Structure 1
Amino acid sequence: IDILNVAVLSIMGRLKIVRACVLFPNNGRFEANTSLCKGMPPFTAEAFPCHEIVDASETPLSTELQERGIDRVVPLVANGQLIAVLCLGAPVIEIADPETMQTYLELARTIVGTAVHNAQMVSSLVEAKKELEARNLMVTTLFESARDFTGAKNFTELLRLLSYRLMGQLMVSSFAIYVKQVGSEDPVVYANRHDAKDLADVFEDVMAIETPVIVDDLPENHPSREALERYGIAMVTPMSIHGVRKGALATRSKLNARSFTPDELSFLEAIGNTAMTAIENERLMQEEAEKERELQIAAEIQKKLLPERMPKMNKIDVSALTQSSQHVGGDYFDVIQLDDYRLLFAIADVAGKGIPAALLMANVQAALNVLAMSELPLTELVTRINALVHMNTEPEVFVTMFIGLIDTRTMGVEYVNAGHNPPILLHGDDVEMLTTGGVLTGVIAEPPPYQAGIGTLYSGDVLVLYTDGVTEARFEKEEFGVASLVQVIRDNKHLESSDLVDAIENAVLSFTKKRQDQVDDDTSILVIKAR
């Protein structure tokens, strides 16, 4: 416009013209720019062929041009494309040399046409640069947002960061996030400002929008448009994670009242999904923290179910250890002093790990402690525990168990092995595996009758009970195994029971090259040594 304005004024001065204007092609018509109309009001005219300079004295002009005193039209062309038409009135003073004027106008239209074309190109490049910079800024903002959202300590901080990003990039100061809740159709609504809290009232219409949308672009008859406009909502985008919708983000208008662009809508969609990912991560972290607290409580409870101290009895020395691969586990051992002479001892392993296994093991522990005082034969005691486990668990759940009874007056041992790893009884260098018993508990409602095994402990004998976490401990593809366990017992049979427990544990950890808190399976060891 500036170039054309200078050109029109220059030509008017040179040719002594008092009226002129510039027409621009627009959808089959010519339109005059107000600032480029000199000595006449702006107007529009039907488009007409215009490739060369036309003099009204030689070629009649249209009535619209004649009525406005136009005497000559000069098309401005660049690269074969019509840019504008310069319309000139008649000179106030007759031109002495028409050919000179014609040459001047030809030169002027070439220079002006090229200058206007170049200006348009520069303007287009500047605009393209601005758009590119704006998009680069959006991408940078998204990367920074992803980083900042991930580092947010809580939802309040995340909401504050999102407010900064939307204000900085979109000039939006008021918005709301709608988050779906598990097991509920109504989302929780978080507004970033007090005056945006009313956006909670329109959550149904916001959640009805299935794709990112600028509200002004919605059809007039869209069922949600009226409500969204009434609450001042300008843009809505679903918030999704891996294609699954988790909520929505709705913003009000820009502070500068400008319209939103498709690029800004795409930005809102991207930052909304990024924010939702952070929100979901925060929720999962809170759930995980809650589970961690529950597991710690469960571990404390389970720990209290185990014997706090070993009984002190003549002729025997007892020690034990249990280590869960998780906070709570399915291993269990117990020692119950029935009187001054008799000691009931047991070890068991539930199929599985974690809280379900721990809960079942708590039931077994409670049942054993009740039944232990009933003076029932060991075979009957195991039969009743089998019925309890079978009645309260799924078919695939079972418990392996070993229960024994020592009478220190005779040092006689009676036991029942219900599918458990056979305990190792070391007589000098001789090894006896205690296998007599029956099937593991919980599988069959009425199993074949359990059988009791008997034996005698002599001074220096060592009885070691263990769970499969000991013998099945692995390094690469090799298991620690029963033979290694027997060798550790033989090498350390002279030690006190507590030291022998430590020796077995250290041997397993040394074999697997792991720390105690890195074990893959629940591990329990119970050692009884005859004095």
Structure 2
Amino acid sequence: MSDLKFPTIEQELNLKKLELAALLEITKAINNNLPEEALYKIFHFTLLAQLNIRTLSLFLIDEEWECKLCFGTEHNFREIGLPEEIAELREITSLADLNIDKRWLDFETVIPIIHNGRILAFVMIGNVHAYYTTLGALSFVQTLSNIILVAMENRRLERHRLTQEAMRKEIEIAREVQNMLFPKSLPNNLDVAIHATYIPHSSIGGDYYDFIPIDQDQFLFCVADVSGKGVPASLLMSNFQAGLRTILRQTNDLHTIVSELNDLIYRNAIAEKFITCFLGIYNRKTREMSYVNAGHNASILLYENTSYKLLEDGCTMLGIFDQLPFLTVTKVQVPPNSFVFSYTDGLTEVFNKEDDEFGLENTIKFLQCCRFVSSRNIHTQLLQEINSYNSSTSFSDDITLLSCRFK
């Protein structure tokens, strides 16, 4: 015991001066708002110049442990994974006490950096001044590392917050754009009563419906579904709506309208997106409806006696081919008291606990049973029906319903 040497008061004072200088250097670097790579370098040179720590590695956790800083070592620890024995440590530990690869004996001590109960990093040091083998000195290195790494973590969280805020604003704008696509009102007159319901799966959906008067006798109605969701789907749908209304001012020929829409979507779609849709043009005088089903779920024409016709002729989905390989415009007579029901696949692709799909057949049976109920009540009751049928806690897709009751 008598041979043990303790630092003199002068030595301790000099060490404290070095520690203070190191602390000031790190604090100054943080306050100058330097980029992360610059902070790593300052951390490196501060430990080397001020504290005489000549061997160090710094491992940070992101999705996995990654070596961000390494100097004074025989091995390149940027290419070596952090051992589980180190990753489990929560206290300052001598590496000689661990059963690990001998390469890690380039270092003497591992120092965990903990913030709010969570491990941020591990600092490993070696080849140090004798003073830095004491617990008090190692705790200072831990504190110094904690200051700079927590500052970097806070910056990362702030960047994440700003990114999330930008995304939130983007979503708000896209939602506003999407809401502007839907018609402000739907007709309920002597000829027809139209009612629509739209339930987005997320903040921004990929469904769309529309009602567009053409002249005194004709109007167009439409239900469409973009592949995918989110902002890209919303933007493509706004292109679709703008294109439809522009083309409709020039012609009411459905063959031309659908061909032009396909060309528009083919040229503007990104990430292999496409659109399925059902478009119908009804003539009040002739009671004739022309329609094209572009790869969409078949609309249901339900007659007064509850018999029905599936409206499924037309073409493939829009935006896949530069020119549609086939396109058929079909005309059907719409007798008095007929009912046309259009929808997106979010309605029928609902599964129960036995993994059975609600499907088209159940939809038709429901409509036949509720044939003379108001369109609003049909939509409400149908949504209640599939909600009871659904084994999940929520719907997995957007749901759009459009009913046209012809008087």
Structure 2 match to 1:216? 50
| Per-residue Cα deviation, 1:32-58 (whole angstroms, up to 9, x for no partner) | xxxxxxxxxxxxxxxxxxxxxxxxxxx
Task: Spell out, residue by residue over 1:97-154, the C-alpha distance to the aligned partner (whole angstroms, 9 max, x if none).
Answer: xxxxxxxxxxxxxxxxxxxxxxxxxxxxxxxxxxxxxxxxxxxxxxxxxxxxxxxxxx
Equivalent residue, structure 2, for 1:507: 385
Q: Looking at both structures, which has the greater relative contact order when contacts are Cα pairs under 8 Å and sequence separation is at least 6?
A: 2
Distance in 2 separating the partners of 1:512 and 1:445: 38
- 1:464 is displaced (CA, Å) by 0.5
State the distance in 2 between where 1:365 and 1:394 align.
17
Question: What's the CA shift for 1:314?
Answer: 2.6
How far the C-alpha of 1:170 sits from its partner, in A, is 9.2
What pairs with 1:50-449 in structure 2 (closer than 5 Å)?
174=24, 176=26, 190-191=30-31, 204=38, 207=41, 209=43, 213=47, 215-218=49-52, 241=62, 242-243=65-66, 245=68, 261-270=137-146, 272-274=148-150, 276-394=152-270, 396-427=272-303, 428-449=305-326
Question: Which residue in 2 is equivalent to 1:479?
Answer: 357
Change (3 A) 1:200 1:507: closer
What amino acid is aligned across from residue 439 of structure 1 in structure 2? Answer: T
User: One-letter code of the match for 1:360?
Assistant: L
Residue type matched to 2:193 in 1? D
| 1:492 maps to 2:370 | yes
The answer (yes or no) to whether the contact 1:237–1:269 under 8 Å persists in 2 is no
Per the alignment, residue 32 of structure 1 pairs with none
| Structure 1 residues 526 and 170: alpha-carbon distance in aligned structure 2, compared to 1, 3 A threshold | farther
- Whole-Å separation in 2 of the counterparts to 1:312 and 1:522: 25
Where does structure 2 lack aligned partners over 5 or more consecutive residues? 6-18, 70-119, 122-130
Does the aligned pair in 2 maintain the 1:424–1:432 contact within 8 Å?
yes
Q: Which amino acid aligns with 2:351?
A: R
Separation (CA, whole Å) in 2 of partners of 1:475 and 1:202: 51
Q: Structure 1 residue 397: deviation in Å?
A: 1.8
Q: Which amino acid is 2:331 matched to?
A: I
In 2, Cα distance between equivalents of 1:217 and 1:479:
69
Q: Contact conserved, 2:300 with 2:341, CA < 8 A, in 1?
A: yes
**Count of residue pairs brought into register by the alignment:** 328
Describe the shift of the 1:344–1:280 C-alpha distance in structure 2 as closer, same or farther (beyond 3 A): same
CA distance in 1, matches of 2:400, 2:35: 58
Instruction: Give the C-alpha shift of residue 266 in structure 1.
Output: 3.0
**Which stretch of the first structure deviates more once superposed, 390-399 or 460-469?**
390-399
TM-score (norm 2): 0.70
5+ long unaligned stretches in structure 1: 2-23, 28-168, 179-188, 192-196, 223-234, 249-257
Q: Deviations over 1:167-222 (max 9, x none)?
A: xx9999756569xxxxxxxxxx642xxxxx5x9699848526559935334489x9
TM-superposed CA distance for 1:498, in Å, is 2.2
Q: Which residue number in structure 2 is paired with residue 461 of structure 1?
A: 338
Task: Check if 1:526 corresponds to 2:402.
Answer: yes
Would you say the 8 A contact 1:214–1:265 is kept in 2?
Answer: no
| SS of alignment partner, residue 213 of structure 1 | helix
Render the CA deviation track for 1:481-508: whole Å, top value 9, x for unaligned. Answer: 1112112211211122222222222222
Shift of 1:274: 4.9
1:254-296 residue CA offsets vs partner (Å, 9 max, x unmatched): xxxx987133213433564455445433432332233123212
Question: Is the contact between residue 237 and residue 268 of structure 1 (CA under 8 Å) also seen in structure 2?
Answer: no
CA distance in 2, matches of 1:202, 1:468: 48
Residue 347 of structure 2: aligned partner:
470
Q: For 1:360 and 1:26, locate their aligned partners in 2 and report how far apart those are by CA, in whole Å.
A: 78
- On the 8 A contact 1:210/1:238 being kept in 2, the answer is no
Structure 1 residues 413-422 or 473-482, which shifts more? 473-482
TM-score relative to the length of structure 1: 0.55
Cα distance change of structure 1 residues 200 and 325 upon mapping to structure 2, 3 Å threshold:
closer
Residue 212 of structure 1 contacts residue 236 of structure 1 at CA under 8 Å; is this kept in 2? no
Indicate if the aligned counterparts of 1:212 and 1:265 stay in contact, CA closer than 8 A: no
Aligned equivalents of 1:390 and 1:453: distance in 2? Answer: 24
8 A Cα contact 2:60 2:68, kept in partner: yes
- 1:313 Cα offset (Å): 3.8
Q: Which AA in structure 2 matches 1:410?
A: T
**What is the RMSD computed on CA atoms of the aligned residues?**
3.8
Correspondence for 1:451 = 328
Counterpart contact for 1:211–1:238, Cα < 8 Å: no
Q: How far, CA to CA, are the matches of 1:322 and 1:205 in structure 2?
A: 51
How many Å apart are 1:388 and its aligned residue? 0.8
Q: Work out the CA distance in 1 between the residues paired with 2:318 and 2:388.
A: 33
